[in-house]
Structure 1
Amino acid sequence: MYSDYSQSKKFEWNGLPNNDKNENELKIKEKLEGFDENWSHDDPFVIQFNSTFIEVTDTRYLSRGLGTLGYLLTILVILILCLLINSGETDALTHFHHFIDFVGWSGLLLPILVQLLFMVSIYELLKESFNYTHLPIRLNRKNRKIYIWKRDGTVLTTQWDKAFFCISEYRWDTNVAFHISCFLMEGKGKHRTATGIFRLGYASKDINEVRNCWEYLRRYMEDGPKQPHRMLKECLPIAKRYETWQEGYARLPKDWLTVPICFLASFARVFAMRTSKIPRWPDWVERECIITKHDPYVRESGYEEV
């Protein structure tokens, strides 16, 4: 669930931002038909829950480690190849000379491409490692605000009632995943512009799961905490501590085909988490999100220290 806020260029409003389909618009005042009131959301995404706010994690939290594994392996392979080439002690590497001769001027181009791949891998790695363990989002039902933790450690706020929500899809190769996009809007009517986008809830290949996630959050904000609290299965124990290896491995989305990859990725996930900081909300956010004394709906499993 990546809050992954990105400042984007302003563009004119014409029905839906970013050319998303109208049928995927999500309206905060309309109950979603077909909502499963027994939905247990087996992939936990709630960090804290109470009468004042619900805090959720970013869309990429569950898959954290998979990207790190790929980037670390890419960086390692490039470094090993560079060492072997510079050493000149491996006869097998001389076969690459034929490739270089075939490409001709690639004697210059190839190192540039390798350096570019290396720099891109470093850049992407720093998105998951040496950053923050997760990017939390708070939805405050009392003051109707959304607090978004940005990658640079600052906090962005927007009004729940002014934001524009829709289901967007992300495609890679033949695969597709869905997530809730929240567009931060300015202006009125036809002159409305989107100044930024973040993802709310978690991503899934099943669009019905994403719809259920939206309706769960919408009902909390519009109808109160009673039903969402009853449906809440567990909270992620990450508010004040690092997850354990076992917890991280359990979070990774896997099936019987991807278990070996996820096993390796679980160690990369530990690397990503332990090199990152746990986000701490600034005092002004905590003051605006004070939890009522003796609140019967408090759930904050991440607040026990281990």
Structure 2
Amino acid sequence: MNFKGLGPYKWKYKINRPLTDEEIKNHLDVNTSASREIDNDLSVIRLNSTYLELVDRWYADKGHAVIYGALGASPMIYGIVAGLQVTIEKIDHLEIALFGIVASAICFAILVTFLWFIKLEAFRLTHYPIRLNRKTRMVYAFKPNGSVIRASWDNLFICKDSHYVPLMGRRFYDIRAHILDKDGLTIRETFTLGYPYFGDEERLPPLWEYIRCYMEDNNGVKKNYETTKLCMPVGERREGLYFGIVRGFGIAAFSPFIAQPLMSPIWAVITWGRLIAMYTSRVPRWPEEIEAECQIDENDPYCKDWRDNDKFTFIEGPWPVIWFVIGSAIAITAIYLTVTSMANAM
């Protein structure tokens, strides 16, 4: 998973700096069509004639940080307990006892790091929505700290940007929006306006065209309404268990009879991480003044949200659930055997 913009330090978006030559080169003009096709890329929460609401760049892969953190934290807990046990048992042997204390301290420090990694997704917000108001031409976006960015659509500097992740050996692309200072060059705030699935560069133009079309095309609302087939079931609620499983196994949807069964233990574990992240976090609520600015017309013919989704077919819904259960059972068995072996070794 690409955590760019979510955590601090090198992951945090850099602000209070001038635009780079690369950002200027990759500027996305709101008046110029970027693609013949438009595709929301499973990023829409709700759509109507007043506003378009999108999920954040971290929503699709939610759960990975929880699992990576848990996998790293587990052996550290074992190391702390083992170190303390050595210290207690060898208290009369100063050198061995000190070794146990140092080992426990090191494991504890690493444990804190992995717990912080879990905290990237858990005990925060379920998602960080972005809302584009077509009528007032305002854009609102939740930041990871829970505050809300407000900006005029017409004043945003929008560009294609990317972030290289060494561990995965590839670049992840997104549609970046910068709020500039009066000089038109200094970046004061940054957020991701759109994120193609898995950060694929080739999927960015249709997604950008979907967003651009909504805000700029006279028939944009109608086009987007007809194009949007599935809305993410979040907004005023948490993502449910059923959809969480479907979304978690969605990365292997291209191969339901091979990839999903073979990878079911791995995707089941990651899906559990997604559920933990969702159900330990609170649902974001837009401030009252923003809701007041985004009133929907009573008879709006272009309203669409998760309630309008078609039912999943057997392969789309129940099939992943079956493999989630099987994969969970395999994973739990493997974890139990591992923990039992570690306990017997102590």
- Contact kept, 8 Å, 1:130 with 1:276, in 2: the verdict is yes
Runs of 4+ in 1 over 3 A off after TM superposition: 1-9, 110-116, 257-260
Q: Distance in 2 between matches of 1:172 and 1:58?
A: 19
Task: For residue 19 of structure 1, report the CA deviation from its aligned partner.
Answer: 4.5
After superposition, residues 222-301 of structure 1 pair within 5 angstroms as: 222-223=216-217, 224-252=220-248, 254-255=251-252, 256=259, 259-301=264-306
* CA RMSD in angstroms, aligned pairs only: 3.0
What's 1:26 paired with? 28
Q: Distance in 2 between matches of 1:144 and 1:4?
A: 26
SS in 1 for 2:277: helix
Is 1:213 the counterpart of 2:207 in the alignment? yes
Task: For residue 66 of structure 1, report the CA deviation from its aligned partner.
Answer: 1.1
After superposition, residues 1-306 of structure 1 pair within 5 angstroms as: 4=6, 8-11=14-17, 13=18, 17-20=19-22, 22-32=24-34, 34-37=35-38, 39=39, 41=40, 43-88=41-86, 114-173=107-166, 174-189=169-184, 192-203=185-196, 204-223=198-217, 224-252=220-248, 254-255=251-252, 256=259, 259-301=264-306
Task: For residue 75 of structure 1, report the CA deviation from its aligned partner.
Answer: 1.7
Give the AA of the match of 1:81. G
- Contact kept, 8 Å, 2:133 with 2:294, in 1: the verdict is yes
SS in 2 for 1:278: coil
Q: How many equivalent residue pairs?
A: 283
Q: Distance in 2 between matches of 1:157 and 1:249?
A: 33
SS in 1 for 2:230: coil
Give the AA of the match of 1:221. M
SS in 2 for 1:254: helix
How has the CA–CA distance of structure 1 residues 285 and 246 changed in structure 2, closer, same or farther, with 3 Å as cutoff? Answer: same
Task: For residue 113 of structure 1, report the CA deviation from its aligned partner.
Answer: 5.2
What's 1:94 paired with? none
- Contact kept, 8 Å, 2:13 with 2:190, in 1: the verdict is yes
Q: Distance in 1 between matches of 2:231 and 2:275?
A: 20
Unaligned 5+ residue runs, structure 2?
Answer: 90-94, 253-258, 310-346
Please report the TM-score for the alignment, with normalisation by the length of structure 2.
0.73
Task: For residue 268 of structure 1, report the CA deviation from its aligned partner.
Answer: 1.1
**Segment drifting more, 243-252 vs 146-155:** 243-252
Give the AA of the match of 1:44. L
Q: Distance in 1 between matches of 2:308 and 2:234?
A: 8
Highest relative contact order (Cα 8 Å, sep 6+), 1 or 2?
A: 1
Task: For residue 80 of structure 1, report the CA deviation from its aligned partner.
Answer: 1.6
Q: Distance in 2 between matches of 1:187 and 1:10?
A: 12
Give the AA of the match of 2:244. G
Unaligned 5+ residue runs, structure 1?
Answer: 92-96, 102-106
- Could you give the per-residue CA deviations for residues 33-75 of structure 1, whole angstroms, max 9, x where no partner exists? x3325x4x5x411111000000001011010001110112212
- Contact kept, 8 Å, 2:122 with 2:277, in 1: the verdict is yes
SS in 2 for 1:128: coil
- Contact kept, 8 Å, 1:237 with 1:303, in 2: the verdict is no
Task: For residue 139 of structure 1, report the CA deviation from its aligned partner.
Answer: 0.5
Task: For residue 134 of structure 1, report the CA deviation from its aligned partner.
Answer: 0.3
What's 1:104 paired with? none
Task: For residue 79 of structure 1, report the CA deviation from its aligned partner.
Answer: 1.1
SS in 2 for 1:250: helix
